[in-house]
């Protein structure tokens, strides 16, 4: 299906920190709140509805990409479970987890480390992500998944960056398209900090 998303434009300054509850110890490190939590939730709920509608009753094996994907993944699974419980159609759903590491400090590296890849042979359904920047990390995971001959693989990503470093890869389901800035919050981190915020821009 054609992937629709909400676009955050390059000249979007975001929202002033004073409008939100930001932990005091983070205030000097952040520039602005780019995507408020409520907007993330609403967009994630819509993605869940699209996914369930597209699956046609197929069993979904939902794979969470840790660590940055855990918050998006948990919310997306909650919305899919709610749809399963409150509609005439439902899809069988199981979950699994993998960790991919491609960052050193704030720089995306050319080396993608896969942790837990020896369990991929049991997966036959969907894959979830947190943010797609260059696309190389996701392409590495997709190559591993395709070696396991799944029936289908679809990717849902909360964020996709507009960057000249992109490989051209686009997920099947996208929450937001964002500028080429370093973003933190909603489980996205800088050296393990800031995971507990709304999506914000570092100074």
pLDDT of residue 85 exceeding 90: yes
CB 203 within 8 A of CB 42: no
Q: Tell me which of 199 and 52 has the higher pLDDT.
A: 52
| pLDDT tens column, 5-28 | 999 999 999 999 999 999 999 989
pLDDT of residue 119 exceeding 60: no
CA 14, CA 91: separation in Å to the nearest integer?
A: 37
Output the pLDDT for position 144.
80
pLDDT of residue 36 exceeding 90: yes
Q: Tell me which of 86 and 190 has the higher pLDDT.
A: 86
CATH code for 23-202?
3.40.50.2020
Terminal CA-CA length for the chain: 37
Question: What are the domain boundaries of the chain?
Answer: 23-202
Instruction: Specify the range with the lowest mean pLDDT, choosing from 3-17, 41-55, 96-110, 116-130.
Output: 116-130
Using CA atoms, how far residue 40 sits from 3, 29, 122, 172, in Å, is 17, 22, 31, 18
């Amino acid at each position: 299906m054609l992937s629709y998303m909400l676009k955050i434009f390059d000249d979007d300054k975001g929202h002033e920190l004073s409008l939100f509850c930001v932990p005091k110890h983070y205030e000097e490190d952040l520039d602005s709140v780019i995507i408020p939590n409520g907007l993330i939730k609403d967009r994630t709920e819509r993605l869940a509805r699209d996914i369930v509608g597209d699956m046609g009753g197929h069993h979904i094996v939902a794979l969470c990409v840790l660590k940055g994907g855990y918050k998006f993944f948990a919310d997306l699974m909650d919305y899919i479970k709610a749809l399963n419980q409150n509609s005439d159609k439902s899809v069988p759903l199981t979950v699994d987890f993998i960790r991919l590491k491609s960052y050193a400090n704030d720089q995306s590296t050319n080396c993608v480390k896969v942790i837990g890849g020896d369990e991929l042979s049991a997966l036959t359904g969907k894959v979830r992500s947190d943010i797609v920047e260059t696309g190389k990390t996701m392409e590495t995971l997709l190559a591993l998944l395709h070696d396991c001959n799944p029936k289908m693989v679809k990717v849902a990503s909360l964020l996709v960056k507009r960057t000249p470093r992109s490989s051209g890869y686009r997920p099947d389901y996208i929450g937001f398209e964002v500028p080429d800035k370093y973003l933190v919050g909603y489980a996205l981190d800088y050296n393990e900090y800031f995971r507990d915020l709304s999506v914000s821009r570092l100074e």
